Amino acid sequence: MEDGLSGCVDLIFTSNDPSGPCNATSGSMSACFYECTWSSNQVAEVHPNPTTSTLQLTSANLWEDKISITDMSGNGVAFDAIDAKTIDVSALHPGLYTIHIVSKKYKSTTTRFVKK
């Protein structure tokens, strides 16, 4: 997508369930996008990875960001507004985690880190 792209698309779907009373169900819906932007630029970077106690965040506007950290089972283990460039993860059990960072302007980045 190009920056500033907007528009609508019509989606048509059919679901087949041979074991049910009806063989097929169909429907349609429209999805509209306004002033969408697509960029490979990340909102923030997380390092060191792997880590034992803290994560350092690199972002242009950290004070505007919110984070959520989930374990690989999808359980939320931390949700917070960022007011510093360091996140204490020392209380987390060793394992693989996903961190999702959203800026106030709704740009987002999702990445993984390893807690040793």
95 and 55 within one domain? yes
pLDDT tens digits along 72-103: 888 888 777 666 678 888 999 999 999 887 77
107 and 56 within one domain? yes
DSSP calls for 51-101: BSSEEEEEETTGGG-EEEEEETTS-EEEEEE--SSEEE-TTSPSEEEEEEE
pLDDT tens digits along 7-43: 676 777 666 666 666 666 667 777 665 554 444 455 5
Number of structural domains (the chain) is 2
89 and 50 within one domain? yes
- Which amino acid appears at position 22 of this protein? C
Sequence-separated (6 or more) residues with CB below 8 Å from residue 91: none
76 and 25 within one domain? no
